[in-house]
Amino acid sequence: MPISRSTRRGRSSRRARRWRPSIGACARRRRRPHEAEVRPMRPRGRMRIGIDAHAIGSQTAGNETYIKNLIEALAAIDEENEYVLFFTRPEIAEQWRDRFRNFRVWVVRPHTRYLRIPLSLPWAVWRAQVDLLHVQYAAPPVCPRPIVTTIHDLSFEHLPQFYTPRERWLLKLAVGYTARRAARILTVSEYSARDIRATYRVPPERVVVTPEGVSALFVPVRDRERIHAVRRRYGIARAYILSVGSLQPRKNLVRLIRAYVNLRRRDDELDHQLVIVGKKGWLYQDIFRAAQHAPFAEDIIFTGYVPEEDLPALYSGATVFVYPSIFEGFGLPVLEAMACGVPVITSHSSSLPEVVGEAALLVNPYDERAIEEALQQVIWNDAMRRELSERGLRRAQQFSWRRTAELTLRAYEDVVRHVTGSERAASAQAAGASR
């Protein structure tokens, strides 16, 4: 006798129910060596927080510094909640395995750029059973748990000419979508908070300011031999002007190079070198061309990426630190420089005045002559250098990664509390409807 369609559907449904394992069972059965052992059950009230840590080990300057220091600060203040760190590189994940008692690592695979965010990461989030996922900038289009995103700045919205068409399109699409659906948006300055609210029209209560901090590594280096050793490592032969940041148009390095060359031309007694620290970013060719075709080209040094442990000595050995960036969400290098006691010159635009307060000399980043005059003023004025150094040290003490972690943890708690409350309300409503 032929089997009816409804009978076939019933049998198929029973087979599916029979073989569908629970999330916990799936994790136990199919866990690979690169995945974390994540317990499916935890005490009531404890959160399990997922953090996208793929930037660690990528030499991506600000993004890597932020997430690495945030994780370490969270570990220092929070031993109650559980954390799952999602990495893309097994060798980096291994360095963080068992580093903190309540932290687990999980390697996301496949981790190609176009598969990690839309497919691999949400699958890992579902299997790890976290209560929320914290990302930087872009989140998966579909994610099984609430999203907390950190958006440092919106330079791609305001300075599109400084990005390739492809990067600009991807950032606008991904970050705009993430901002509109995230449970919380964390950002690093009041300037960026206002910008995010205005650009994406998100409610003020969803945007939380969590200023960045400065690592305990960044202190004035008094050991002259240590400074000389680092200088030799990077080919620095004389007194120098320092700038730190990835090589990209927004950092305004072409104008800095021109200002430096004009200063050397006008001031015969000044023989400082210009040391530019940072990994290649994008659209950096004009920066190298400006240096190669300039007089005094032999005194313009590009160090490339410098490991964090060498930076305090480089900062401390500089006569002046200059950061003429056109647009910043925070500008962490100026804080690091102040913490090391070096006088700072920076832009009067975007978030930078908010970060430095009255502890730096501010200039118009579009005015090469203003940058040149500020350099000359600080280099030859001993009293001004001492004053800026002392103010910078005091200002840097007002920022800490511990405070960043405390504000971030509070945002996590608000999100989980809201989601838990919504789920309970929905359950109660469903139970009432079934009666």
CB 341 within 8 A of CB 330: no
pLDDT by residue (tens digit) across 215-243? 999 999 999 999 999 999 999 999 999 99
Homologous superfamily of 27-213+403-417 in CATH?
Answer: Glycogen Phosphorylase B; (3.40.50.2000)
Write b or e for each residue in 232-261: b if 16 or more Cβ atoms lie within 10 A of its Cβ, otherwise e: eebebeeebbbbbbbbbbbbbbbbbbbbbb
The per-residue pLDDT for 9 is 47
pLDDT band with cut points at 50, 70 and 90 for residue 111: confident
Pick from 399, 392, 241: nearest CA to 315:
241
pLDDT by residue (tens digit) across 236-275? 999 999 999 999 999 999 999 999 999 999 999 999 999 9
| Cα dihedral 187, 188, 192, 197 sign | positive
Omega cis (within 30) before 43: no
In whole angstroms, give the CA distance from residue 342 to residue 308.
17
Mean pLDDT of 301-305: 96
The per-residue pLDDT for 13 is 46
pLDDT by residue (tens digit) across 338-392? 999 999 999 999 999 999 999 999 999 999 999 999 999 999 999 999 999 999 9
Mean pLDDT of 58-74: 90
Domain boundaries along the sequence of the chain: 27-213+403-417, 224-389
Topology match between the domains 27-213+403-417 and 224-389: yes
List the structure tokens of 397: 């003490």
Q: Three-class SS of residue 125?
A: helix
Pairing status of strand 320-323 against strand 300-304: unpaired
CB 141 within 8 A of CB 175: no
SS3 track for 204-239: HHHEEECCCCCCCCCCCCCCHHHHHHHHHHCCCCCC
The architecture (CATH level 2) of 224-389 comes to 3-Layer(aba) Sandwich (3.40)
In whole angstroms, give the CA distance from residue 45 to residue 118.
30
In whole angstroms, give the CA distance from residue 331 to residue 212.
9
Q: 13 phi and psi, to 5 degrees?
A: -65, -40
